[in-house]
Amino acid sequence: MNRKGIIIVVSGFSGAGKGTVMKALTAKYDQYALSVSATTRTPRSGEVNGREYFFVTTEEFEKMIEEDGLIEHAKYVNHYYGTPRKYVEDKLANGIDVILEIEIQGALQIKEQYKDAVLLFITPPSADELEKRLRGRGTETDEVIRKRLGRAKEESVGIEKYDYIVVNDKLDECVENVHRIISAAHCSPDRNIEFIDDIRKQLEKY
Amino acid sequence: MNRKGIIIVVSGFSGAGKGTVMKALTAKYDQYALSVSATTRTPRSGEVNGREYFFVTTEEFEKMIEEDGLIEHAKYVNHYYGTPRKYVEDKLANGIDVILEIEIQGALQIKEQYKDAVLLFITPPSADELEKRLRGRGTETDEVIRKRLGRAKEESVGIEKYDYIVVNDKLDECVENVHRIISAAHCSPDRNIEFIDDIRKQLEKY
């Protein structure tokens, strides 16, 4: 079958391990590309422009919005985050599935424009495990951790808007589950209209 | 997560290799059970009652219909075919996914009663390959083969009613694709309401 790329939107509680899962997934399977977002926030130590994010000014970001150069964007803690359109559409055209790691606001914007986008929500097996992981990082103050857990509570309201919920208990299993979900999505009749038309035409002679 | 069984309905052109795929799938993974249909047709050589089918009389079959003992039934070439309810519901309650190999009429009856049933359509990669496989069996007359191909043409009209279309080119790949589709289905929010409620309750304290 002629494979067309799918947009995969991945959200999940901060601390669910989304980044790690996506890194492992794209390392293991070469049909996936991770989209790089643009943001107006300052780079953290170790972050490289064009790798973690495209770091841009507020003026540059607003120009991208105006010119319809972003497929979604959102403001979060006073900073803009958005997904550049060109990268995504080039990959899709080449049969590559593009993974976007974004918040629910952006996820729903994507689903409106790209009806066949697949929305995944990644969650730890329990809230206790989430707290444990956030504390385990050892880099955040108690106040920041509380804030993230409070935000997780807010985010949990939207889970049903997602197409799939994936528990990140063991990393390998979670990566495989995400891969299975995306592989399954490629088998929907909507994504195989050409194949179906072809086989129907071929059967006409009987 | 507390896994509940799903009904998987498998249809496909005669000659697509459904039976072989399902046998390989259930041999490889023990979370699947193949439902055994009841039929009024005469057993073919080698067929065992209770293995390929439950062979029953027309009177017995009609009694099962009356007593609501079948979750679907259809008449095809003057014979009844149907799926006994008890076996299916017992397996589902035990977290086993039940696979039903049935025609489109039955598939749609199932979907009406079990909204979350997953409908798969298995197809060979092309109509030529289908004809080759039917002829390759060497057991059917030319007339029977023509009839099956004519029926494939009719069946191809309904493909979009299925949730997934799976090409059976290489057996192993096809088996894996079916497994991926079913695994993905288990990750829908609808099938994880308890888990979602639990994590929401746990997050309330923050």
Domain boundaries, given as residue ranges, for chain A: 7-35+97-203
Contact A184 B188 (CB under 8 A): no
pLDDT beyond 60 at A108? yes
pLDDT of residue B48: 95
Question: What would the two tokens of residue A42 be?
Answer: 């300052």
pLDDT beyond 70 at B2? no
- Residues B119, B121: Cα–Cα separation, whole Å: 7
* Confidence tier at A12 by pLDDT (50, 70, 90): very high
Cβ-based neighbours of A49, under 8 Å, separated by 6 or more = A43, A55
What is the arithmetic mean of pLDDT over B145-166?
93
**Residues from chain B contacting residue A192 (CB–CB below 8 Å):** 165
- Residues B101, B164: Cα–Cα separation, whole Å: 14
pLDDT of residue B106: 87
- Residues B38, B60: Cα–Cα separation, whole Å: 10
pLDDT of residue A103: 86
Q: How far does the CA of residue B56 sit from the closest CA of chain A (Å)? A: 34
- Tally the C-alpha atoms within 13 A of residue A62's C-alpha that lie toward its C-beta: 4
pLDDT of residue A2: 57
- Residues A72, A39: Cα–Cα separation, whole Å: 12
More confident residue, B140 or B57: B57
- Give Dmax (Cα) for chain A: 71
Q: How many helices (H) and strands (E) does chain A have?
A: 8, 9
What is the arithmetic mean of pLDDT over B156-176?
96
Contact A187 B164 (CB under 8 A): yes
Question: What would the two tokens of residue B49 be?
Answer: 């009652």
- Hey, what amino acid is at A16? A
- Tell me the Cα Rg of chain A: 19
What is the arithmetic mean of pLDDT over A3-20?
92
pLDDT of residue B14: 84
- Is the CB of residue A173 less than 8 Å from the CB of residue B183? no
pLDDT of residue B15: 85
Out of 2.60.40.10, 2.120.10.70, 3.40.50.300, 3.30.70.3000, which CATH number does the structure's domain B7-200 have?
3.40.50.300
Q: Read off the pLDDT of residues B5-45 as tens digits, 9 standing for 90 and up.
A: 999 999 999 889 999 999 999 999 999 999 999 999 999 99
Say which CATH topology domain A7-35+97-203 has: Rossmann fold (3.40.50)
Does A106 count as an annotated binding residue?
no
Contact A127 B180 (CB under 8 A): no
- Tally the C-alpha atoms within 13 A of residue B56's C-alpha that lie toward its C-beta: 20
pLDDT of residue B165: 97
* Confidence tier at B75 by pLDDT (50, 70, 90): confident
Cβ-based neighbours of A116, under 8 Å, separated by 6 or more = A6, A7, A185, A188, A190, A191
What is the arithmetic mean of pLDDT over B73-100?
93
pLDDT beyond 80 at A100? yes
Average pLDDT, chain B: 93
pLDDT beyond 80 at B177? yes
Nearest to B152 by CA among B140, B144, B141: B144
* Confidence tier at B205 by pLDDT (50, 70, 90): confident
What is the arithmetic mean of pLDDT over B150-176?
94
- Residues B129, B9: Cα–Cα separation, whole Å: 23
Inform me whether the C-beta atom of residue A202 falls under 8 Å from chain B C-beta atoms: yes
